[in-house]
Amino acid sequence: MLSRKKINDKYKKICWIIFSLVLACLTVTTVIKQSEGVSLSDIVHTVMKADKTWLIVAIISASMFIICEGFAVMCILKGAGYKIKFKNGLLYSTSDIFFSAVTPSATGGQPASAFFMLRDGIPAGVVTATLIINLMLYTLSVVILGFIAVLMYPAAFFEFRIFSRVLISGGFAVLCGLSAFFLLMLKNGEKIFLVAFRILMFFYKKRLIKRPDSMVSRLRKAKMDYRQCAKIVVKKPMILLYSLFWNLLQRFTQLIVPMLLYISMGGHFKEAIMVFQRQCLVTVGFNFVPIPGAMGVADYLMVDGFSEIVGRELAFHLEMLSRSLTFYICVSASGIFTLFGFLLGRRRNDRSI
């Protein structure tokens, strides 16, 4: 029988998924209502008129967001001595993307990704180090592209509304802080296990755990694995550079989608570059917001940023199409792939018993 804790955890996950679906519906409805006469039929008409070549390029670019994260994780694991198949790396990526989108934290997908790594036989310590490194590089990539956007056109920041500027400024501050925090965790990661030991002993003293010996031994093993993995990665800086490349490419392929869609609608290349620049700042602004998928906030920032360049009506079209590709379709595809990966893995394990 399932324990009460596991039942509560499953109940919370289901509640968050339902909440995310409701929030997605409300977001789309609100955006359409605020779009001053723009309807779904208008958006469909825009897609039908769009240049199909650039539209296909945008779709491919959006799908690369999933693939690149898989390669980034595989790169770190390979440096630690674990060769992973592409389909497994893709599963780590899709599980991270899906659960990050349906939970209120940007790190919500980390436990799901860790689950599949552990199922594949990767030690807990190596999993912990890998996820910390990848999250650090992911966050750093957003900051790097954000600063590039500022250098491209510094005045663009002041063309956003006050609320948007507050979000973008807060995003830069929080993301820079997180990057530094993850770097410290990588260098002093054993403190994570020290906290875990103290929590375990606290539960033991409160008689919530009867025999902590096996848990303590597993934590010690995980601590040794973590130390070994962290040392390997730190001693091989090229691993970090390769993984940073994949993380930067992952962010770039997502951020360039609005630009590609705008070109497909007949937009000029000079204005399209500005759309990309605004999207970089938009991403900095919504990445630290504790809302599933930053729904509502991301949409507001995109419309605010694009309106100054392409006009309000086309900004709504561009926002809806971009979010559909880079978020709603991407998350749905990730969820389906994760579900199949979970079911197929469970059947394989059942046959091996």
Say whether 38 sits in a helix, a strand or coil.
coil
Residue 281: its pLDDT value, please?
94
**CB-based contacts of 334: which residues, under 8 Å, 6+ apart?**
66, 93, 94, 95, 97, 98, 101
Residue closest to 318 by CA, chosen among 330, 326, 306, 304: 306
pLDDT in tens, the chain (353 residues): 445 545 455 555 555 556 555 555 555 555 445 555 555 566 677 778 888 999 999 999 999 999 999 999 999 898 888 889 999 999 999 999 888 877 765 556 788 898 999 999 998 878 888 888 888 888 899 999 999 999 999 998 999 999 999 999 999 998 888 888 777 766 666 676 777 778 777 777 777 777 777 777 777 776 776 676 667 666 777 888 899 999 999 999 999 999 999 999 988 998 999 999 999 999 998 887 767 666 778 888 998 999 889 888 888 888 888 888 888 888 888 888 988 888 887 655 544 44
Q: Which of 273, 334, 289 is nearest to 62 (CA)?
A: 334
Count of beta carbons in the 10 Å neighbourhood of residue 297: 20
User: What is the pTM for the complete model shown?
Assistant: 0.78
* pLDDT value, residue 351: 47
Question: Which tokens hold the place of 107?
Answer: 């790190």
**Sign of dihedral through CA atoms 234, 235, 241, 243?**
negative
pLDDT for position 1? 41
**CA distance linking residue 262 with residue 316, whole number of Å:** 12
CA–CA separation, 235 vs 193, rounded Å? 22
pLDDT at 25: 59
Query: Across the chain, how many H-helices and E-strands are there?
Result: 15, 0
Between the CA of residue 162 and those of 157, 158, 168, 301, 313, what are the distances in Å? Answer: 10, 8, 10, 11, 21
* pLDDT for the residue numbered 352: 45
